[in-house]
Chain A
Amino acid sequence: MLSEPIQASPEQLASADRCAIIHYSGPSSGTITVRATAGFLRGLAANLLGVEPDEVSDESCAQDAIRELANLLAGSVVVELGGRESTYSLGLPQVVDHQSPAAAGSPASVTCSLDCEGELLNVTWTATQQSKAAA
């Protein structure tokens, strides 16, 4: 799936109405929030299953896909923060009601939006607690 970073408009962000969140903890802690459109999740699930997107119609598939994407992204974040074997731990990813990036964000958050062949993926990384060493 081709993708490019974009400056998403409020309307585009509102269309990304599927949301999952995962917490990590360790030397510092934080959350990864993933928002996506239903079309993006269909494409993601289809890629993982090796089928066409129109063969993925089950809502549970979309929920599973966004949970697993949050899990994979958080896994990559903690590897970036602490290396291959660190003292970071991951929580379980949870599907949550849609939150707007503005509501979920904080001064310590970074957000990125990708246009994936007309579908939107938005990822927000929020650092909730810095370790003394990191600070």
Chain B
Amino acid sequence: MNCNVLIVDDSPILRKAIKKVVKLSGIEEDRIHEAGNGAEALEVLETVWIDLVLLDLNMPVMDGEQFARELRARPDLAGVHVVVVSTEANRDRLARLRELGVNGYLHKPFEPEDLCRLISGVLGVKK
């Protein structure tokens, strides 16, 4: 699948675990990128086109909500899809993220099939 995915999570172990699931959904390994917080994610977006960001919310330096806000303020990155993957379930925060145009939400812990389904749905891929 010719799509680039960026996994943004402050836990290296979780990034690796999510990466495995992303590979299961048909994304090639060299198209999967990683960042440890929102600021690092913005740096990645400066160097490579990303189709889908899998975004944790509670992270040091720059959290997921701030990242989404910065991303949506950039017209040149308007086509980047964002799926939140987080333990955070705060109603107000999730509402703000929906207003920012976040394309999906998955509560951790999750089943790998659920993430695969979300990725396929957001990227418009038939299984």
Contact = CB atoms under 8 A, between A and B. Distances in A.
B-side interface mostly = mixed
A78 B89 contact: yes
B106 to A, nearest CB: 12
- Secondary structure of the A side of the interface? helix
Given A48-B14, A64-B13, A67-B11, A88 B109 contact: no
A48 B15 CA distance: 10
A61 B13 contact: yes
A61 B20 CA distance: 17
A91 B58 CA distance: 7
Interface of B: 11-14, 16-17, 20, 58-60, 86-94, 107-109
10 nearest CB pairs, A to B: A75-B87, A85-B91, A48-B17, A68-B11, A64-B13, A89-B90, A48-B13, A71-B87, A72-B109, A64-B11
Interface of A: 26, 45, 48-50, 60-61, 64-65, 67-68, 71-72, 74-76, 78-79, 82-92
